């Protein structure tokens, strides 16, 4: 046996050590880069109940013969799906108890009424997955809810902010005290993710599989957001100036901050979503300029100044469609 290692063997060991060290370094950098975001600050589970915004639509008939609904069981649920378990077709789906996209529990009086606003154009395959999935998910939560699908029915540039402003007018006309603004491509994975407003705005989709369940930045409010209807009006809703992809949600976050409201979140284990994959929309190259202008107060546009050509309202079993031509 030789007393020293042959030179080629030594070289091999050096290369292996080098590669292993580089990989370790990359893993360490990745860990520290995302550490804070995995552990974004959130309401502790035991504080959620006291922060809930209890408010029911006055149009909902309260039945004296049945008790108030309870929410502890939903909030304490640890049942979750993994992304790959999400059914692409909901075969166990029944339309029973659904009308106009709305539902209220029969055996108890709910404490929450929520308008869920989904902005939409030309994403039929996503909608086909979203609607049965979300109804199945929500009907387990003992809440009163209604799904409004706000469809842009023209070929003009996509304007999500305007669609939300218009949809919210209808939700408020129907006296919904809480709004959930919901992307059609996001499906909640955790049963404990109660679809209700908090007293402060609540960013719901904090942990999305596409981003390895990491909150990409602290002021992100895109995806799924819950906000009280009165606060939406107070902020003057979304700017109407953003077309195409990006910026409108960050501008909305700036409005939240300017009104000294907080953005609250549930813990990561209650905030996980899977995203239905789709091609990325074209980015609005002007989005940063518009945000800067809006911040300087040059354009105080929003909910109170939204203008559109026509709106048609149609009811379906699974949703109420607000068709908009801008
Ligand atoms: C930011 C966009 C937001 C968007 C967020 C996440 O960069 O509008 O990414 O987008 N802000 C600007 O472009 C100024 S996501 O990757 O989830 O589609 O919501």
Atom of ligand 1 nearest to the CA of 288: 14
The pLDDT score that the predictor gives to residue 21 is: 81
Ligand 1 atom having least distance to the Cα of 216: 6
CB of 269 closer than 6 angstroms to any ligand 1 atom: no
Is the shortest distance between the CB of 101 and ligand 1 below 6 Å? Answer: no
The reported pLDDT for the residue numbered 3 is 61
Q: Find the 70 Cα to ligand 1 centroid distance in Å.
A: 36
DSSP 55: B
Render the burial of 295-310: b for 16+ CB within 10 Å, e for the rest: eeeeeebbbeebebee
Cα–ligand 1 centroid distance for 88 (angstroms): 26
Given this model, what pLDDT does residue 30 score? 64
CA 11 to centroid of ligand 1, rounded, Å: 47
Give the position, in ligand 1's atom list, of the atom nearest the Cα of 287.
Answer: 14
CA atoms of 64 and 47, how far apart (whole Å): 29
Is residue 192 within 8 Å of residue 268, measured between CB atoms? no
Under a CB-based contact definition with an 8 Å cutoff, are residues 309 and 244 in contact? no
Indicate if ligand 1 lies below 6 Å from the C-beta of 302: no
d(CA 195, CA 140): 11
What's the pLDDT score for residue 299? 64
Q: What is the distance between the alpha carbons of residues 141 and 145, in angstroms, rounded to a whole number?
A: 10
**How many CB atoms are located within 10 Å of the residue 60 CB?**
14
Q: How far apart are CA 23 and CA 27, in angstroms?
A: 6
DSSP 232-245: HHHTT-S-S---SB
For ligand 1, the distance from its centroid to the CA atom of residue 205, given in whole angstroms, is 13
- What is the distance in A from the centroid of ligand 1 to the CA of 247? 6
CATH architecture of 37-325: Alpha-Beta Complex (3.90)
pLDDT in tens, the chain (326 residues): 556 667 777 677 777 787 888 887 877 766 555 554 557 999 999 999 999 999 999 999 999 999 999 999 999 999 999 998 988 777 778 888 899 999 999 999 999 999 999 999 999 999 999 999 999 999 999 999 999 999 999 999 999 999 999 999 999 999 999 999 999 999 999 999 999 999 999 999 999 999 999 999 999 999 999 999 999 999 999 999 999 999 999 999 999 999 999 999 999 999 999 999 888 788 999 999 999 999 887 668 999 999 988 889 999 999 999 999 99
Structural tokens at position 201: 């705005």
Atom of ligand 1 nearest to the CA of 283: 13
Can you tell me which atom of ligand 1 is nearest the CA of 222? 19
Measured from the CB, is residue 251 less than 6 Å from ligand 1?
Answer: no
Ligand 1 mean position, distance from CA 246 (Å)? 5
Among 164, 218, 241, 249, the mutation site with the greatest number of ligand 1 atoms within 8 A of its Cβ is 249
pLDDT for 36: 46
The answer, yes or no, to whether any atom of ligand 1 lies below 6 A from the CB of 209, is no
Beta strands in 156-247 (DSSP E): 178-182, 186-188, 202-203, 207-208, 224-228
**What does the pLDDT read at residue 282?**
86
Taking alpha carbons only, the member of 60, 46, 50, 303 closest to residue 199 is 50
């Amino acid at each position: 046996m030789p007393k020293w290692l042959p030179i080629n063997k030594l070289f091999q060991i050096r290369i292996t050590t080098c590669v292993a060290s580089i990989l370790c370094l990359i893993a360490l950098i990745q860990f520290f880069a995302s550490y804070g975001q995995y552990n974004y600050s959130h309401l502790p589970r035991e504080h959620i109940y006291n922060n809930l915004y209890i408010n029911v639509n006055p149009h909902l008939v309260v039945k004296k013969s049945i008790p108030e609904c309870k929410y502890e069981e939903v909030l304490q649920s640890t049942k979750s799906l993994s992304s790959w378990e999400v059914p692409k077709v909901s075969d166990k789906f029944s339309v029973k108890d659904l009308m106009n996209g709305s539902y209220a529990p029969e055996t108890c009086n709910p404490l929450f009424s929520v308008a869920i606003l989904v902005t939409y154009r030309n994403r039929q395959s996503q909608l086909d997955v979203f609607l049965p999935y979300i109804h199945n998910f929500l009907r387990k939560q003992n809440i009163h809810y209604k799904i409004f699908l706000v469809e842009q029915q023209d070929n003009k540039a996509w304007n999500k902010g305007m669609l939300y402003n218009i949809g919210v007018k209808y939700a408020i006309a129907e006296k919904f005290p809480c709004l959930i603004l919901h992307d059609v491509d996001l499906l909640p994975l955790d049963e404990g993710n109660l679809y209700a407003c908090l007293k402060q705005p609540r960013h719901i989709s904090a942990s999305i599989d596409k981003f390895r369940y990491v909150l990409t930045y602290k002021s992100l409010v895109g995806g799924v957001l819950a906000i009280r209807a009165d606060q939406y009006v107070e902020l003057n809703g979304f700017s109407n100036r953003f077309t195409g992809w990006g910026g409108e949600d960050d501008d909305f976050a700036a409005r939240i901050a300017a009104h000294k409201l907080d953005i609250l979140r549930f813990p990561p284990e209650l905030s996980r979503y899977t995203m239905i994959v789709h091609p990325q929309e074209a980015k609005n190259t002007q989005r940063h300029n518009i945000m800067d202008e809006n911040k300087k107060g040059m354009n105080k546009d929003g909910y109170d100044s939204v203008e559109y050509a026509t709106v048609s309202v149609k009811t379906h079993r699974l949703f109420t469609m607000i068709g908009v031509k801008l």
